[in-house]
Amino acid sequence: MNTEKMTLEPAETRSINPKVFTMWLFIVSILMLFAAFTSAYLVRKAEGNWVEFKLPTLFSYSTVVLILSSISMHFALISAKKDQFNALRISISITFVLGLLFLIMQFYGWIQLVEMNVFFVGNPSGSFVYVFSGLHGLHLVSGLIVLTFALVAAFRFKINAKSLTQIKICSTYWHFLDALWLYLFVFLLINN
Amino acid sequence: MSTAISTAEEVHTHDHDHDHDHEHHELGFIRTYIFSEDHKTIAKQYLISGILWAFLGGSLSILFRLQLGFPEMSMEWLRPILGGWIDDSGKLDKEFYLAMVTMHGTIMVFFVLTAGLSGTFSNFLIPLQVGARDMASGFINMLSYWFFFLSSVIMFSSLFIETGPASGGWVIYPPLSALPQAMPGSGLGMTLWLTSMTFFIVSSLMGGINYICTIINLRTRGMTFTRMPLTIWSFFFTAVLGLLSFPVLLSAALLLIFDRSFGTSFYLSEIYIQGQALPNVGGSAILYQHLFWFLGHPEVYIVLLPALGMTSEIIATNSRKPIFGYRAMIGSMMGITALAFIVWAHHMFVTGMNPFLGSVFMFLTLIIAVPSAVKAFNYITTLWKGNLVFTPAMLFSIGLVSLFISGGVTGIILGNSALDINLHDTYFVVAHFHLVMGAASFFGLMAGVYHWFPKMFGRMMNKSLGYIHFWFTFVGVYMVFFPMHYIGIAGFPRRYYTFTALGNDSMAAFTDMNMFISIAAIITFSAQAIFAWNFFYSIFKGKIAPANPWNSNTLEWTTPINPEHGNWPGEIPAVYRWPYDYSKPGAPEDFIPQNVPHSATLESNLPEENAEIAREKDIEGLLGAQNESYTH
């Protein structure tokens, strides 16, 4: 039946779930927000009077943690597709904990910055690092909220091979937040 | 195959039951009229908010026109309304003058022509014209309006605080806007402005995401992209522009908030206030301008494109002719959308920009003349030899074409960096953008209201009052803005409280011209009361509208006169043709709605359209899949 329905469906309409699509559009708007910030960084840097400093070492470790959380998120999606509920719950929980750990590490990264005498108030080169990591952190908090809903749904058996929309949205958003941080981190590494 | 069809039918019955339930299950007053998820109600909410804002923004402009036209006049009679903003000598407070021009700009650009225009008509027309029961997410749509409402309340309340609303111009350039010491309006008023705009951006993004998602995913069966009315195309491009540019304004505003409230130095550097050096070092005020105009320029098209889309539809309908160059219209809108993002620096020719870079932006800016001219020609060739029906909506649409051309021509002058450096921040610029963006979009808004009022409220607006309103507005707009070009060339700077002190009274020769503009502005503004009365009276007492008052082809006229939530009581109609089959040779009527299959119009089909008949079964076959998409 499934295949027959596919033939009925037009190629150009309804080929993507509107909710997933909404999430993609939302991602585009976040992407533009950070594109504006990184462009502002480049424009400002080109004008000179720019204080150079090293990024906190903790940022490298936190990046690894975030990548690990993305991997466990992917396992969650795979488990949901196979109806392996225990694996699903464990992987979502691991993702959540790793996300939380990332936020804590980012916070300690800020403390390292302060120890290096790079403050939020001061030369924009430092302020930008706080803005990048702070706003990314804020978005990660929203990611954790989305994850909490998925976690609750997983414990109520609401995520399974036949209803994957929620976990798909959740994992898309999470991978995006991961990629976004990678972009910001690499951007800062190259430009510092 | 048979299983698929039977399932589809089950789904359909289920869907129908659901609708049936919906009609009889009365939602309470609050869910029907206030926190409604129905796109039509949300559209009306946007429209009425927009009209209220327009009157407020307009009355601000009358106040400062009084000051400019009659500098010697005593404003004592305004004391009951403005209170302390009238100083002891009976004159308008100078700081408040700056606040008024700032609020006039902010209100008109964002609250009237973005929320009032795009918010109203994208919400109202997208589901009705693409054949959807509602927006992709009714809840986000409702949230979008209430974020806008919250933003409105904050902006409105900023008018009443002691230090006055934001006063640094609608572009709020730092350092003026970043330093509370700089002027009274940069204190609490600016904080409220930034808060309000943050909510506004959130609201716009929610709305825009919904519009794009609905257009892409919820079109009815047979509604291919090339069968979409131009209104939908324009709303689509508008939403794309908003989605890509509003986040950039948010980033600019966030950095400004950090500078204002946390002491960072993104935009501030080496500033002395009353001999005291500020601690901020290393910021760049030009950086703000880059970020702001990256939104600011697309914003011009966010305001204008919906007006262009709606008037294309209205002009084709009332010329009883197919739109000339349907694909060229789409192409030119696409071109304008793309170019909108790479011309922002033409607002910044006087910032000390490298002249070579200035030439690049000049070149890109002048290219916009090409798609704009394509649109203008297509409007005129659609009108050419048509059976013109001069409804008020049609008159306003033709008015838009006129304003778009006369305002666009001065755009070519201002786009040249060499000329712009001379004319920058003069009334020439004010005249230019008021004609091409302000008045043109306003005319599009009015055209839309007159044209779709019957669908919105099930009643007709009074035609004669519509004509009177149009002629007062059309003649008035030209009387206001045309003389401004001369004043601008003479060197009047914009946003100045008084010009009599400029250049040893050399500007005194223009006093009578300023007076003329002010009187024209007062007449034009007063004429809007005719519209307001007509609008609100007709909502309750207008003549009951027929189902298709303008003999139009698009899907919204196939709904009942007062559509319920869900829009069509039965199945959503399928679409078999483009929306511009007007005066087709051989057809008995001069219009063939989009839901009429080619098999029913053998007498007027072109040879290639007879081939379409074979595909009609395919389109019908999509019914099951379409119904299924609503059961999720």
133-192 of B, contacting A, C-beta below 8 A: 136-137, 140
pLDDT more than 70, % of chain A? 92
Please compute the mean of the pLDDT values over residues B504-517 and round it to a whole number.
Answer: 85
Residues B98 and B186: their CA atoms lie apart, in Å, by 11
Confirm if B310 and B448 have CB atoms less than 8 A apart: yes
Confirm if A58 and A114 have CB atoms less than 8 A apart: no
Shortest CB distance from A36 goes to which of B4, B212, B247? B247
Delimit the domains of chain A by residue range.
2-191
CB contact under 8 A, B287 and A44: yes
Confidence of residue B17 (pLDDT cuts 50, 70, 90): very low
For the stretch B361-394, pLDDT in tens is 999 999 999 999 999 999 999 999 999 999 999 9
For the stretch B103-161, pLDDT in tens is 999 999 999 999 999 999 999 999 999 999 999 999 999 999 999 999 999 999 999 99
Residues B515 and A113: their CA atoms lie apart, in Å, by 61
Q: Does the structure show a pLDDT above 90 at B189? A: yes
Q: Does the structure show a pLDDT above 90 at B625? A: no
For chains A and B, CB pairs below 8 A equal 132
CB contact under 8 A, B265 and A122: yes
Q: Which residue has the tokens 């601690």?
A: B279
User: Dihedral of CA B27/B33/B38/B41: which sign?
Assistant: positive
**Other CB atoms within 10 Å distance of the CB of residue A62:** 24
> What are the backbone dihedrals phi and psi of residue B273, each rounded to the nearest 5 degrees, phi first?
-120, 120
Please compute the mean of the pLDDT values over residues B534-538 and round it to a whole number.
Answer: 97
Delimit the domains of chain B by residue range.
2-17+576-631, 19-267+276-541
Predicted local distance difference test score (pLDDT) of residue B16: 42
Confidence of residue A5 (pLDDT cuts 50, 70, 90): very low
Predicted local distance difference test score (pLDDT) of residue B19: 41
pLDDT more than 90, % of chain B? 75
Please compute the mean of the pLDDT values over residues A75-87 and round it to a whole number.
Answer: 92
Confidence of residue B25 (pLDDT cuts 50, 70, 90): low
CB contact under 8 A, B265 and A37: no
Task: Give the H or E element holding residue B13.
Answer: helix B2-24
Please compute the mean of the pLDDT values over residues B10-31 and round it to a whole number.
Answer: 52
Predicted local distance difference test score (pLDDT) of residue B31: 80
Cβ of A53 under 8 Å from any chain B Cβ? no
Q: At what angle do helices B120-130 and B230-261 cross, to 10 degrees?
A: 140
Residues from chain A contacting residue B265 (CB–CB below 8 Å):
121-124, 127
CB contact under 8 A, B136 and A22: yes
Confirm if B328 and B378 have CB atoms less than 8 A apart: yes
For the stretch B263-284, pLDDT in tens is 899 999 888 888 888 888 888 8
The token pair that represents B180 in the structure block? 């509370």
A50 Cα to chain B: minimum distance (Å) = 8
Residues B66 and B521: their CA atoms lie apart, in Å, by 9
CB contact under 8 A, B209 and A26: yes
The token pair that represents A121 in the structure block? 């108030």
* Torsion of Cα atoms, A50 then A52 then A55 then A56, to 10°: -110
Predicted local distance difference test score (pLDDT) of residue A4: 40
Query: What 3-state class would DSSP assign to B591?
Result: strand
Residues B448 and B444: their CA atoms lie apart, in Å, by 6
CB contact under 8 A, B219 and A13: yes
Q: Which CATH superfamily is domain B19-267+276-541 in?
A: Cytochrome c oxidase-like, subunit I domain (1.20.210.10)
CB contact under 8 A, A1 and B622: no
Q: Does the structure show a pLDDT above 80 at B342? A: yes
**Other CB atoms within 10 Å distance of the CB of residue A186:** 11
Please compute the mean of the pLDDT values over residues A12-21 and round it to a whole number.
Answer: 69
* CA-based nearest residue in chain B for residue A17: B217
Confirm if B430 and B439 have CB atoms less than 8 A apart: no
Predicted local distance difference test score (pLDDT) of residue B359: 93
Backbone φ/ψ region at A75: left (φ over 0), alpha (ψ -120 to 50), beta? alpha
**Is residue B511 classed exposed, middle or buried when 0-12, 13-18 and 19+ CB atoms within 10 A define those classes?**
middle
Complex ipTM, two decimals?
Answer: 0.88
Predicted local distance difference test score (pLDDT) of residue A14: 47
CB contact under 8 A, A12 and B282: no
244-303 of B, contacting A, C-beta below 8 A: 244-248, 250-252, 254-255, 258, 262-266, 269, 281-284, 287, 290-291, 294
Shortest CB distance from B218 goes to which of A1, A18, A50? A18
Cβ of B631 under 8 Å from any chain A Cβ? no
pTM score, two decimals?
0.91
Shortest CB distance from A120 goes to which of B140, B254, B262? B262
CA distances from B106 to A30, A170, B110, B376, B560 (A): 24, 37, 6, 28, 38
Predicted local distance difference test score (pLDDT) of residue B72: 86
Residues B500 and B102: their CA atoms lie apart, in Å, by 22
Confirm if B499 and B68 have CB atoms less than 8 A apart: yes
Shortest CB distance from B4 goes to which of A5, A26, A39? A5
Please compute the mean of the pLDDT values over residues B595-605 and round it to a whole number.
Answer: 92
Q: Does the structure show a pLDDT above 50 at B594? A: yes
Predicted local distance difference test score (pLDDT) of residue B8: 39
Fold of A2-191: Four Helix Bundle (Hemerythrin (Met), subunit A) (1.20.120)
Q: Which residue has the tokens 């009077």?
A: A49
Query: What DSSP letter does each residue of B592-623 carry, written as one string?
Result: --TTS-GGG-GGG--HHHHHHGGGHHHHHHTH
CA distances from B357 to A43, B40, B417 (A): 14, 46, 10
Task: Give the H or E element holding residue B455.
Answer: helix B440-457
Residues B603 and B586: their CA atoms lie apart, in Å, by 6
Predicted local distance difference test score (pLDDT) of residue B21: 41
- H-assigned helices in B320-346: 326-340
Predicted local distance difference test score (pLDDT) of residue B6: 38
Residues B97 and B93: their CA atoms lie apart, in Å, by 6
Please compute the mean of the pLDDT values over residues A169-175 and round it to a whole number.
Answer: 95
Nearest by Cα to B122 from B104, B148, B103, B152: B148
Confidence of residue A13 (pLDDT cuts 50, 70, 90): very low
Sequence-ordered list of residues with C-beta below 8 angstroms from that of A152, at least 6 positions apart, any chain? none
The token pair that represents B376 in the structure block? 């203008």
A94 Cα to chain B: minimum distance (Å) = 30
Please compute the mean of the pLDDT values over residues B549-562 and round it to a whole number.
Answer: 95
Please compute the mean of the pLDDT values over residues B41-53 and round it to a whole number.
Answer: 96
CB contact under 8 A, B243 and A124: no
CB contact under 8 A, A127 and B266: yes
Predicted local distance difference test score (pLDDT) of residue A94: 95
A60 Cα to chain B: minimum distance (Å) = 25
Length of chain A: 192
Confidence of residue A3 (pLDDT cuts 50, 70, 90): very low
For the stretch B214-228, pLDDT in tens is 999 899 999 999 999
pLDDT more than 90, % of chain A? 68
19-48 of A, contacting B, C-beta below 8 A: 19, 21-22, 25-26, 28-30, 32-37, 39-40, 43-44, 47
Cβ of A2 under 8 Å from any chain B Cβ? no
The token pair that represents A191 in the structure block? 């430009």
